[in-house]
């Protein structure tokens, strides 16, 4: 069966890196990152830009879902609110696709360490720590499979993603 992986989690937890590792393990797989649709200057989060980004994400995902070439799609994005997931479910044509919604979570000290590594490398600003840690408690309430990645490498995370149960 064709599989769409919806991988969410706070910034810095390793969604993109684990998603790329998963892509390498799957045949006929497209990788998409929701952050690509937020790549704008100035970066403005308004009701209008939120709607624009979500519409663009749904359009792109539907194009990949409708292409017979792909048997797997890995989509990564923060997806910290149930309404975001609900909008995706209502907007995507997933007939013939198994959807595996996953939230990557970890212990706060692990997330802080990952973010500090990114900050030291110049990949993220210092302000990302507080923002990301404030999102972490939101994921347990979501209707997703929770995957604790504390202490897991991206490769180990990808292997766990491959072995996830089929959601009800």
pLDDT in tens, 139-157: 999 999 999 999 999 999 9
pLDDT at 19: 98
Q: At what angle do helices 128-135 and 108-120 cross, to 10 degrees?
A: 150
Average pLDDT over residues 5-11: 98
> Would you say residue 1 has pLDDT above 90?
no
Q: Are 167 and 100 in contact (CB under 8 A)?
A: yes
What pTM was computed for the model?
0.95
Mean pLDDT of 46-72: 97
Per-residue pLDDT at 90 exceeds 90: yes
Cα(10)–Cα(121) distance, integer angstroms: 19
Torsions phi, psi for 72 (to 5 deg): -145, 140
Give dist(CA 148, CA 103) in Å, integer. Answer: 8
**What is the per-residue pLDDT for 168?**
59
Average pLDDT over the chain, rounded to an integer: 96
Q: Where are the beta strands (DSSP E) in the chain?
A: 2-8, 29-33, 72-76, 97-105, 145-148
């Amino acid at each position: 069966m064709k599989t769409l992986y919806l991988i969410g989690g706070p910034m810095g937890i390793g969604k993109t890196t684990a998603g790329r590792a998963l892509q390498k393990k799957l045949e006929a797989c497209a990788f998409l990152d929701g952050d690509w649709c937020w790549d704008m200057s100035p970066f403005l989060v308004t009701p209008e830009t939120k709607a624009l980004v979500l519409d663009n994400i749904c359009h792109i995902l539907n194009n990949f879902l409708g292409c017979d070439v792909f048997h797997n799609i890995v989509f990564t994005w923060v997806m910290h609110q149930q309404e975001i997931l609900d909008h995706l479910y209502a907007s995507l044509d997933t007939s013939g696709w198994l959807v595996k919604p996953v939230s990557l979570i970890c212990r706060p000290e692990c997330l802080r360490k990952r973010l500090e590594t990114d900050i030291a490398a110049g990949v993220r600003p210092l302000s990302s720590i507080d923002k990301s840690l404030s999102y972490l408690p939101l994921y347990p309430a979501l209707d997703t499979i929770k995957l604790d990645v504390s202490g897991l490498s991206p490769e180990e995370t990808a292997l766990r993603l491959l072995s996830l149960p089929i959601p009800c």
